[in-house]
Amino acid sequence: MTFSATRPARVGIIGTGNIFDRYVNGMARYPRLRLTGCADLDHARTLKAAADHGIRAYASVDALLGDPGVDIVVNITPPLAHAAVSAQALRAGKHVYVEKPVAATVAEAAPLTALARECGVLFGSAPDTFLGSAAQTARKALDDGLIGQPVGVTAFVTHSKAETWHPNPGFLFAPGGGPGLDLGPYYLTSLVNLIGPIATVSGLSRIGAPVREVTSPGRTVESIEVTTPTHAAAVIGFSSGVIGSLQMSFDVWNHHLPFIEVYGTDGTLTIPDPNGFDGDVRLRGNREEQWRTLPPVFPPSGPLDMDVQMLRGAGVDDLAGAVDGAPHRASAELAFHVLEALEAVETSSGSRQVVELTSTAERPAARTQ
Ligand SMILES: NC(=O)c1ccc[n+]([C@@H]2O[C@H](COP(=O)([O-])OP(=O)(O)OC[C@H]3O[C@@H](n4cnc5c(N)ncnc54)[C@H](O)[C@@H]3O)[C@@H](O)[C@H]2O)c1
């Protein structure tokens, strides 16, 4: 079945929480996608979300999955529900796109890609920001050899300060969250897109501040007890021989470090926040006096303010395109490899051993438009 030739892909969303509006507004930018309806465990939320956007409110998740008028399910439930909801949707014969992490653990995620193949459907996963103009401009610079052979990378996963803006951020400080599984996927996915697959991981992690005060407007909790590591440092060994140093922290509130830098034999590339699509990619050759901003390989998705950069939908369009025969870039296979690397930081911290990854992932096809 192809979509774009005959009709748009019909999308149903499961989970109508904080990120829901950004999916609805973001997906509206893609003519290939048409949002049909939504479902949530909390039916009052389903009704409000559906009324806000003039879409169908399904009575339950089962009702949405039983509708033959839904082609793609977007799973934006919290991480601990990702695997079960995705599995149910795949078994219902739907193509599925799930928010990051692809599942809360490697063990939960492992059967899902095979399940998708058995069910004859495609399975995609966030993040999708590496499809944007910044990551693709950096990718082209590397592919064109502008910094020579990459030798090392630095990535610094910063604090999202969710205590100050998310009404119920508890899941971000519990297993399945933390800087590693909440924001780490944006950084490691971007790095796999640039450098290729990861072979080994070693790291140390800990809980920093054990209780977080929630100050967000409209909050439904006043404080959070932290039950997952919030500060980690890791050494990432890429299969190509590139060595990465990765810091991930919900304890560092202010800093001067870059988001991602790639160091090559001929120069350095500095890359903006991989939690957004666009921004300046800057390069400085080893013997150049100044940094220069590279022209983007295609126009940015919009202004650099967070309201635009946080819009979602590119990965759902990528999935619909893959059903139509285009390369599947934001694939669950890629997300699984990234999850395995992030979980390995914890494993290594516990065992004090270097972890060799069992999975790999191809660099996704580069985008030129
Ligand atoms: N909030 C953000 O800015 C943001 C940004 C990027 C990605 N994400 C990701 O999106 C996902 C959702 O985040 P959120 O902030 O919207 O969470 P949220 O807690 O605000 O909303 C989750 C919704 O899912 C519903 N839900 C829970 N279990 C369910 C189940 N089994 N079946 C159906 N509905 C269920 C809840 O009732 C809730 O309405 C997470 O994976 C998160 O990492 C969030």
CATH assignment at residue 284: 3.30.360.10
45, 47, 48, 53: CA torsion to nearest 10: 120
Both tokens of 254, joined, read 């202010």
Cβ of 17 below 6 Å from ligand 1 = yes
**Is there a domain that residue 319 lies in?**
no
Q: Do 72 and 102 sit in the same domain of this protein?
A: yes
What is the phi/psi pair of residue 362, to 5°? -70, 150
Domain boundary, last residue among 100, 125, 150: 125
Q: Do 118 and 166 sit in the same domain of this protein?
A: no
DSSP code string of 87-100: HHHHHTT-EEEEPS
pLDDT of residue 1: 55
Q: Do 216 and 74 sit in the same domain of this protein?
A: no
Low-confidence ranges of the chain (pLDDT < 50): none
For 75-93, how does the pLDDT look when each residue is reduced to its tens digit (9 = 90+)? 999 999 999 999 999 999 9
Separation of 265 CA from ligand 1 center, angstroms? 42
Provide the domain count of the chain: 2
**Is there a domain that residue 337 lies in?**
yes
Separation of 35 CA from ligand 1 center, angstroms? 18
Cβ of 14 below 6 Å from ligand 1 = yes
The boundaries of the domain holding residue 93 are: 9-125
Q: Do 183 and 79 sit in the same domain of this protein?
A: no
Q: For residues 219 and 168, is the Cβ–Cβ distance under 8 A?
A: yes
pLDDT of residue 99: 98
Cβ of 79 below 6 Å from ligand 1 = yes
Q: For residues 289 and 267, is the Cβ–Cβ distance under 8 A?
A: no
Rounded to an integer, what distance in angstroms lies between the CA atom of residue 4 and that of residue 2? Answer: 6
Cβ of 99 below 6 Å from ligand 1 = yes
**Is there a domain that residue 305 lies in?**
no
Residue bearing tokens 């660099």: 363
pLDDT of residue 196: 98
Residue bearing tokens 């209780």: 211
Rounded to an integer, what distance in angstroms lies between the CA atom of residue 34 and that of residue 71? Answer: 10
Q: For residues 116 and 123, is the Cβ–Cβ distance under 8 A?
A: yes
Cβ of 61 below 6 Å from ligand 1 = yes
Residue 355, CA distances (Å) to 71, 124, 369 in order: 39, 26, 37
Residue type, 220: T
Sign of CA dihedral 76, 155, 235, 210: negative
Rounded to an integer, what distance in angstroms lies between the CA atom of residue 129 and that of residue 180? Answer: 17
The residues, ordered by sequence, that sit 6+ positions from 347 with a Cβ below 8 Å of its Cβ are 353, 355
Q: Do 86 and 216 sit in the same domain of this protein?
A: no
Separation of 18 CA from ligand 1 center, angstroms? 7
Separation of 280 CA from ligand 1 center, angstroms? 30
Ligand 1 atom nearest to 101, measured from its CA: 41
Rounded to an integer, what distance in angstroms lies between the CA atom of residue 130 and that of residue 338? Answer: 13
Rounded to an integer, what distance in angstroms lies between the CA atom of residue 295 and that of residue 287? Answer: 20
Cβ of 360 below 6 Å from ligand 1 = no
What is the phi/psi pair of residue 260, to 5°? -140, 135
Q: Do 109 and 137 sit in the same domain of this protein?
A: no
Other C-beta atoms within 10 Å of 154: how many?
17
Q: Do 158 and 105 sit in the same domain of this protein?
A: no
The residues, ordered by sequence, that sit 6+ positions from 177 with a Cβ below 8 Å of its Cβ are 79, 171, 228
Separation of 125 CA from ligand 1 center, angstroms? 14
Domain boundary, last residue among 92, 125, 158: 125
Separation of 261 CA from ligand 1 center, angstroms? 31
For 195-204, how does the pLDDT look when each residue is reduced to its tens digit (9 = 90+)? 999 999 999 9
**Is there a domain that residue 365 lies in?**
no
Ligand 1 atom nearest to 42, measured from its CA: 37
Q: Do 38 and 176 sit in the same domain of this protein?
A: no
Ligand 1 atom nearest to 77, measured from its CA: 24
**Is there a domain that residue 212 lies in?**
yes
Q: Do 107 and 174 sit in the same domain of this protein?
A: no
Residue bearing tokens 């990378």: 153
Q: Do 77 and 205 sit in the same domain of this protein?
A: no
Nearest CA to ligand 1 atom 15: 18
**Is there a domain that residue 266 lies in?**
yes
Cβ of 76 below 6 Å from ligand 1 = yes
Cβ of 272 below 6 Å from ligand 1 = no
Rounded to an integer, what distance in angstroms lies between the CA atom of residue 72 and that of residue 75? Answer: 10
Both tokens of 330, joined, read 């934001």
**Is there a domain that residue 363 lies in?**
no
Domain boundary, last residue among 125, 156, 175: 125
Cβ of 77 below 6 Å from ligand 1 = yes
**Is there a domain that residue 82 lies in?**
yes
Both tokens of 288, joined, read 């150049």
Cβ of 78 below 6 Å from ligand 1 = yes
Q: Do 137 and 111 sit in the same domain of this protein?
A: no
Q: For residues 165 and 330, is the Cβ–Cβ distance under 8 A?
A: no
Q: Do 113 and 22 sit in the same domain of this protein?
A: yes
Domain of 48: which CATH number?
A: 3.40.50.720
Closest alpha carbon to 152 in 184, 207, 191: 191
